[in-house]
Chain A
Amino acid sequence: MNGHLRAVEIRYVKRFDRLDRLMHGLLMLSFLGLAATGLPLLFSTTAWASRVSHLLGGFLVAGRLHRTFAVLLIAVFLTHLGRIVYKVALEKDYGLLWGPRSMVPQPRDVRDLMHHLQWFVGRGPRPSFERYTYWEKFDYWAVFWGMAIIGGSGLLLWFPEAFSRAVPGWVFNIALTIHGEEALLAVGFIFTIHFFNGHLRPEKFPMDMVIFTGRLPEAELKHERRAEYERLERTGELGDLIVRPPSERSWLAGRLFGTSAVLIGLTLVGLIIYAVAAHGL
C-alpha cells in the first residue's frame, strides 16, 4: 500500500446484511452440533466415538441434542427459503433468480471454473468474479441437497413407527445409510474444502471476516470480484454500499466464533481420518 494512503481510512463495502450473518451463524452452530453428536454413531467402533458419546452425556442425551440442532437447522433453512420467496414474489426482485446477483448456476460459472483452472496452472489471468463464485454456489446448493437427503432421512429415522405406516421397513435401512454417508460428505466438505476456500488459503488466512462483520475492504472486493465491483461502480450502487469499518467488538466476536468453529471442525476431521485409517469405512 502506498504511503500517502496510510492516513486515509480504509473504505469498506457492505456484502451481507444482519439476517444473512445471523443465518450463517445459526447454520454453523447447528451444523457443528449435528456433526459432534452424530459422528460418534458413524464411527461407533472407535474408542474416541465412545468417549465423545459418554462426554455428551450418553447416547440418549446426544440423540436429544442432535434432534434439537436438526430442528434449528430446519428452521434456519425454512427462514432462508421464506426470505427468498418474499423478495422474489413480493418485492419482485427477479435478479435473485437469474443474473449476476443470483445463486442460480449460469453459463458464466462454467467459464469462471475453466478460467480459474487455467489460472491455477499458469495459462491465463486470474478470472474476474461476480457476486457469487462457482464454488460458493456449490456450497450453497449443497445445503439444499443435504437438507433434502439428510433432513429427509433423519425425519424417517426420528419417527420410524409412524413412517412405517407409509413406507416398508427396509426404507429405514436405506435412510440410515444415506444419512450417514451424506453427513460424512457434508462434514468432510465443509471442514476441509469450505474452510480452505473461504478461510484457510494463503490469501484469506487465517479467516475471511466478511461473513461475521458483513463488510469487506473495497480493495479486497475489487481484487476478488472485479466483475461485481465494476458493475456496482457502473450502476452507481457502490456509493450506497460504502460503510464504516467493522467495530472492534464485532470483529473480535467474529474471530472468536469463527476460530472456535474451525478448530472444532478440524478436530472432527482429524478424528474421521484417524477412524477411517484405523478401521476403514
Chain B
Amino acid sequence: MSTRGAIATAVAVWALALTISARVPGAAGPQAAAPPQAAVSAAPPPANTDCLACHEDDSAVRADGRPVVVKLAAYEKSVHGPLWCIDCHTDVAKAEFPHAEKLTKVECATCHPGPVEQFGVSVHAKARASGTTVAATCVDCHGTHDIRPSKDPESRTYHLNIAATCARCHGNADIIAKGKIPSDVTKAFADSIHGRALSRSGLIVAPTCSDCHGAHDILSPQDPQSRVSRAHVPATCGKCHEGIENQFGSSTHGRILAKGTDGGPACQTCHTAHGIQRAESVGWQLSVIGQCGTCHADRIATFRDTFHGQVTSLGFRTVAGCADCHGAHEILPANDPRSPISPGRLIETCGKCHEGANANFVKYDPHADKHSRARSPVLFYVTRFMTVLLAGVFGFFGLHTTMWFTKEVRVRRDRRKGRA
C-alpha cells in the first residue's frame, strides 16, 4: 500500500469512528464498526440511542405493567457495553416501532458458540428440555444487560461470587421444589472449609462450585461422565489435593473404587461432598468414626465396646479413632506389610500412644467381639458368666425385695385395721 493510500484509509477509519462514537453511547469498539445489516436494510436500523428513547424511561411499562427500562449505567459498564442493542435483539433491527412486546430469544451462541454447545449437554439444559422451567440458562448465572467479565469482582461469575450465584437457585426452597433439586447443599458448603476459605479468607485459590462441577457443562453426579461421578471424584479433588489422590489410588479403598464396583468409597463418602470440614477439627475426627461405621458396621460395634470406642463416643479425642491405627487415605489390609496394622508394625502403631508397648501388649484386640466365640473365646465365656451372675443376683434379690415389700405393706395394713 502506498503512503497516500494508508493515510487516506486512516482518515476514513478515523472519520467513521468519530461518527460512530457520536451515535453510540460508550466507547467505540471493533464490533461496533457499523450497524449490522445496514447495507441490506432500506430504513436505517435503530441505534442504541433510538432504543433508549423508550428504554431509558423509568415510567415506560409493558401491557402487564412491568417496566421496560434498561439500566444504562450498568449496561455501559458491562462487557457488552460497546455492542448495539440489535446485536443481541436481532429482530428489532427490522421491526416497526414501537416493536412487539415479545421479541425473539437472544441467541448467545451467535458470539459464544463453544459455551452454549457445552451447556446443551448439561443437567440444566436437560432439565429445561424435560419441561423444568426454573432450570438455569445463560442469563440466570451471567445476568442480562449487566454481564461483566468473570475476572471483574463485580461479576456474578467472579470466582468469589459463584457460590452466591448458584445459591440463588440451589438455596431457594421454591426452586428446589420446582426443579426437583435433591437437597439444599448451599448451607453445608458455606460452613465447609472450602466455603469459609472463599467467604472468610477470600482465597481466590479455594474451590467454588464450578471447580468440582464445571461451569457450562455441569452433569448430574449419576452421569458417569460427570466430574463428580463416584469414579471421577478422586481425580476432581486431586486437581488440588494431588498428593492425597496418589495415596488414595494405591489404598484398598482406591483399588476397589478403580475396579468400578459400587462398594468402593470415594472422597465424599468420608468427607461429605459439600460440608467438608477441616481434617484437624476434633468434631470431624470424631464424626468420621461414625462415617467408617456406615460401611464397617461390625467393626464399629466392636470398637464401641472398647475403651477407645467409649471415650470417642463421649466426645473426646484423647484416644485412638479408626484412622489413628488404620491410616486415612492410604488404608491397607492387615496382611499388607506396609499397613500400620500389619503384625510387623503393630508395636510401632500402638506405641504412638502407648509408650512402652511390647509384643505382649499388642495381643490386645481393639475389636474384640464378646458375641463371637471364634474371635474372642475367653471374652465370650467371661461375658456369659457375667450375664448369668447379674441375672442371678438381680433375679434373686429382685424377688426377695418384692416379697419383702409386699409383706411389710400387708403387716402395716393389718396393724392399722387392728387399731381401727
Contact = CB atoms under 8 A, between A and B. Distances in A.
Q: How large is the interface on A (under 10, 10 to 19, 20 to 34, 35 or more residues)?
A: 35 or more
B306 A161 contact: no
B315 A54 contact: yes
A169 B383 CA distance: 17
Interface stretch (B82-90, B191-199, B393-401): B393-401
B287 to A, nearest CB: 13
Given A44-B311, A44-B313, A201-B404, A177 B383 contact: yes
Nearest to A62: B314
A128 B68 CA distance: 105
A201 B400 CA distance: 12
B183 interface: no
A49 B312 CA distance: 12
B280 interface: no
B365 to A, nearest CB: 5
Q: How large is the interface on B (under 10, 10 to 19, 20 to 34, 35 or more residues)?
A: 35 or more
A126 to B, nearest CB: 9
Contacts of A173: 306, 364-365, 368, 376, 379
A5 interface: no
B239 interface: no
Given A41-B314, A117-B403, A202 B309 contact: no
B345 to A, nearest CB: 15
Interface string A183-205: 01100110011001100011100
A50 to B, nearest CB: 5
A157 B364 CA distance: 12
A44 B309 contact: yes
Nearest to A52: B314
B376 A169 contact: no
Contacts of B14: none
B361 to A, nearest CB: 4
Contacts of A121: 403, 407
B316 A59 contact: yes
A161 B311 contact: no
Contacts of A16: none
Contacts of A176: 306-307
Contacts of B405: 196, 201-202
A135 B403 CA distance: 14
Closest 3 pairs between A and B when the two form their complex, measured CB to CB: A169-B364, A169-B363, A164-B361
15 contacts: A50-B313, A59-B311, A59-B316, A60-B318, A121-B403, A162-B356, A169-B362, A169-B365, A170-B363, A173-B306, A173-B368, A189-B397, A193-B401, A202-B405, A202-B412
Interface of A: 40-42, 44-45, 49-50, 53-54, 58-60, 116-117, 119-122, 135, 157, 160-162, 164-165, 167-170, 172-174, 176-178, 181-182, 184-185, 188-189, 192-193, 196-197, 201-203
